[in-house]
Amino acid sequence: MKRTCISTFLLLSTLTMSGNCNSKNDLPAFKDLYLGQKPPGLTPEPFAPDMLDKGFRAAAVSFSPDLKELYFRRRGGEYKKNTLCVIEYKNNQWIESVVPPRAGQPFVSVDGNTLHLGGMFRERTQSGWSEVKSLGKSFNAIRIMRLTASEKGTYFFDEATEVGHIRYSRLVEGKREAPKSVSKSINSGKWTAHPFIAPDESYIIWDSERKEGQGDNDLYVSFRQQNGAWGPAINLGNKVNTQHQEQYGSITPDGKYFFFNRSYGGDNADIYWVDAGLIKALKPKF
């Protein structure tokens, strides 16, 4: 396992919990939170580019609930294919390593006990992550790229097709129901993919190429309405979306920041972050 010790950065003071979606006040503060990076405002900024991209493609960020594990995928240079990496906070420093053998798009469950990797997953054990396991026969025929899960265990996931399609699957009395399609307002446009579901299922974020977009794939959000239906697809605007591909949107476990990646083609992509208040400000007044 390749390991790189990353030097520690400045001590961050405890951040004020304001203007965020799904803020959690019980997360511990620790030295070098968020790799010691200066928090962004409402304009997206590259996240730790000297640590993450290293001139290659970096994408698909997911944090553990305690914010001490950062999972992402890297490709390019010595990484001939997509490689799952983790940067962990240990002994007052951030340490990077490769997570073999599967490099699916990572998502750490709300309780931190499951590492979803598209159509597969691993469970946390006392000695680390378990072997890679299958989601089961109901999902085997679906080419899942990214799967995220809510506090209730509801799966929201995509499918690698020319158009793309987002589905969900609930836990009903302890049993996993057959996948169902989400609303047409979400499943429209070209290449609809990479969903992120809020822990309380109050909103969903995904990316898609649409006529009204900024160019290539744009990031969108839909908020749950009072009647339980999904609201209209809302473009995140030109602070986030550009003529390039914006993908893999997600909110951090503390509810403070929105992460996404911007792809310039090939093995060239950067990870960005912005204050999550940008997402909250888009919520309609139902």
**48-62, 138-152, 236-250: the lowest-pLDDT one:** 48-62
Residue 197 in contact with residue 156, Cβ under 8 Å?
yes
Per-residue confidence at 2, pLDDT binned at 50, 70, 90?
Answer: very low
Mean pLDDT calculated for residue range 50-78: 89
Q: Give the separation between CA 55 and CA 220, rounded to whole angstroms.
A: 27
Higher-pLDDT residue of 20 and 128 is 128
Q: Residue 5: its pLDDT value, please? A: 42
Taking the model in full, what pTM does it have? 0.88
Higher-pLDDT residue of 116 and 80 is 116
Q: Could you list the residue range(s) of the whole structural domain that residue 66 is in?
A: 3-280
CATH assignment at residue 138:
2.115.10
Residue 107: CB atoms within 10 Å = 27
What are the Cα distances from residue 254, in Å, to 14, 122, 263, 268, 276?
12, 23, 26, 29, 10
Dihedral over alpha carbons 97, 49, 191, 242 (to 10 degrees): 170
Domain-embedded: residue 107: yes
Token pair recorded at residue 15 = 């951040």
Domain-embedded: residue 168: yes
Domain-embedded: residue 286: no
**29-33, 78-82, 141-145: the lowest-pLDDT one:** 29-33
Domain count, the chain: 1
* DSSP labels, 99-149: --S--PPEEE-TTS-EEEETTEEEEEETTEE---EE--HHHHTS--S-EEE
Q: Residue 215: its pLDDT value, please? A: 74
pLDDT surpasses 50 at 19: no
Mean pLDDT calculated for residue range 85-102: 91
What are the Cα distances from residue 161, in Å, to 59, 155, 191?
20, 19, 7
Q: Give the separation between CA 230 and CA 59, rounded to whole angstroms.
A: 27
Mean pLDDT calculated for residue range 193-212: 94
Average pLDDT over all residues of the chain: 86
Domain-embedded: residue 285: no
DSSP character at residue 224: B
Domain-embedded: residue 7: yes
Higher-pLDDT residue of 281 and 6 is 281
pLDDT surpasses 60 at 254: yes
Collapsed DSSP state (helix, strand, coil) of residue 275? strand
Domain-embedded: residue 247: yes
Higher-pLDDT residue of 226 and 18 is 226
Dihedral over alpha carbons 231, 237, 242, 244 (to 10 degrees): -20
Domain-embedded: residue 192: yes
Q: Give the separation between CA 107 and CA 148, rounded to whole angstroms.
A: 6
Nearest to 6 by CA among 44, 34, 43, 39: 34
Domain-embedded: residue 225: yes
pLDDT in tens, 114-165: 999 999 999 999 999 999 999 988 898 899 999 999 999 999 999 987 778 9
Residue 49 in contact with residue 63, Cβ under 8 Å?
no
Nearest to 139 by CA among 115, 114, 158: 158
